[in-house]
Amino acid sequence: MKPISVGWAKLPGTVIMTARRRAFLPTRFHGDIRPRGQRAGTPCRIIRRCGTLAREDGRKRPDGALPTLRARIRFAVGAFLLLGLIALAVPAGAQQLNPDGSPNPTASSVKEDQLLRDMRIISGRGSIPDVKSYNIEQPAGRDWRQFHEFWLPWLGAAAILGMLALLVLFYLIRGMVRIEAGRSGRTLVRFSGFERLVHWMTAASFVALALSGLNITFGKRLLEPLIGPEAFATWSQWAKLAHNYLSFPFTLGVIVILLMWVAWNIPDKMDVEWIKAGGGVVGHEHPPAGRFNAGQKMIYWIVVIGGGTVAASGYLLMFPFYATASAGMQKAQMVHGIAAVLFVSVMIAHAYIGTIGMQGAFEAMWEGTVDLNWAKQHHSAWVDQEIAGGRTTPPPRGRMAPAE
């Protein structure tokens, strides 16, 4: 019961036409229209020529009738319309040229756009084995470009400038969190030399990765107008090399941090109390905390998860097409860019609290020791363990140790 299509049709022995097709087939064709001597199911081409029916084998209508006058008139009208269409097409073709007669390559862009919408991808042919390179255009590429050129810079600017604004405001309201009891002169070892080495290796490579990465997102807009295209190109080339190679110490640092501090960063009940009390930073209460308080635990997990995310997505970009195709790489770049700008904004807050935000904090990671009173104020549960284990330094000569 299949309708017969114009042009080619595989006609079985007996064809039952649809009503529409039947309308312009002579009644005598309702039967078996195989050429004589052919088996049922043999393909047979029906060519409709202005009212006459002929078969591909050139045989005329079985009745051998000549075209009617009506058919000739239809032929003449058809030819006339065809000529009219050709005449209209000629000026359109002329628009493909510039006024000076040179070709205008953008004149056909609308058609290309249409093609792209219909086909989803425009690909050509190539002679190299890498077939991916034959893809010329794909709409997903435009979506990605929109993300890269618009959404990521806006998100990045909002996250980084927003965090800076918040910290300035916080500093103006709260100021530096001071050691309320003053320095005791007695110290506690807080981080070993190895822990500090890993921290600073990760931090230094992070800063270099952040600056060189943000150069990709913002450099052309912000830096190039200031230093000029040549200096910008040279700097970008070095920055890109730094971004690639410093990824290795960064990744190593994140892995060692994960292993080295995981035991102290498992959330517990004390963290809930610490958060409820504002961590002693928002208010002036000093809730008890172990070696790492809830705020530091959050930073730890952001570093481990955020670092893992930027590393995984970064390596997908650094070694293109090993594990993903173009679409996967576009996603990897989106994940990398978003995770990176959020990571930078959180690390700015971390750097703030470790320096101008809190008295006595920086020396923990620089010298490896903290003042006992600082430790009591921020990590009282940890101090109890350290004192019990005899891991404090004796009071300086000529100075009384404060009562414990």
Spatial neighbors of 203 by CB under 8 A, at least 6 apart, are none
Structure tokens at 360: 């006595």
Are the C-beta atoms of residues 228 and 264 closer than 8 Å to each other?
no
Considering only 152, 349, 370, 375, the residue that binds ligand HEM (CB under 6 A) is 152
Choices 41-49, 71-79, 313-321, 374-382; region in contact with ligand HEM by CB under 6 A = 313-321
CB of 287 to ligand HEM, least distance (A): 31
Find the part of the chain contacting ligand HEM (CB under 6 A) among 214-222, 224-232, 269-277, 387-395. Answer: 214-222
Torsion, CA 224, CA 226, CA 227, CA 233, rounded to 10: -10
Q: Is 199 in the site for ligand HEM (CB under 6 A)?
A: no
Q: How far is the CB of 345 from ligand HEM (least distance, A)?
A: 10
**Structure tokens given for 154:** 């806006």
Which residue in 163, 73, 148 sits closest to 351, CA to CA?
Answer: 163
DSSP letter at 41 equals T
Nearer to ligand HEM, 190 or 199 (CB): 199
Residue 317 binding ligand HEM, by CB under 6 A = yes
The DSSP call for residue 195 is H
Give the chain's end-to-end CA distance (angstroms, integer). Answer: 99
Q: State which residue, 107 or 302, has the beta carbon closest to ligand HEM.
A: 302
Backbone φ and ψ for 354, nearest 5 degrees, come out as -85, -10
d(CA 290, CA 357): 20
Query: Rounded to the nearest whole angstrom, what is the least distance from the CB of residue 203 to ligand HEM in the complex?
Result: 11
Q: What is the CA 327 to chain-centroid distance, rounded?
A: 9
Asked if 163 touches ligand HEM (CB under 6 A), the answer is no
Q: Indicate whether 148 belongs to the interface with ligand HEM (CB under 6 A).
A: yes
In the list 314, 361, 372, 378, the residue contacting ligand HEM (rule: CB under 6 A) is: 314
Of 33, 198, 210, 329, which one interacts with ligand HEM (CB under 6 A)?
210
Mask: binding to ligand HEM, 243-282, rule CB under 6 A, as x and -? x---x--xx-------------------------------
Q: Say whether residue 296 binds ligand HEM (CB under 6 A).
A: no
DSSP 147: I
Amino acid identity of residue 340, one-letter, is A
Q: Quick one: which segment of 20-28, 186-194, 308-316, 382-390 binds ligand HEM (CB under 6 A)?
A: 308-316
Which 8-state DSSP code applies to residue 356? Answer: T
If binding is defined by CB under 6 A, does position 330 make contact with ligand HEM?
A: no
Burial status of residue 404 (CB atoms within 10 A of its CB: 0-12, 13-18, 19 or more): exposed
Angle, CA 311 vertex, CA 204 and CA 364 arms, to 5°: 35
How many Å apart are CA 384 and CA 391, to the nearest integer?
10
> Which residues 332-351 are close enough to bind ligand HEM by CB under 6 A?
333, 336-337, 340, 343-344
Task: Mark the segment that binds ligand HEM (CB under 6 A) among 12-20, 231-239, 311-319, 379-387.
Answer: 311-319
CB atoms inside a 10 Å sphere around CB 173: 8
Shortest distance, position 333 Cβ to ligand HEM, whole Å: 5
213 binds ligand HEM (CB under 6 A): yes
Shortest approach of ligand HEM to residue 344 CB, angstroms? 5
Interface with ligand HEM (CB under 6 A) = 148, 152, 206, 209-210, 213-214, 216-217, 240, 243, 247, 250-251, 310-311, 314-315, 317-318, 333, 336-337, 340, 343-344
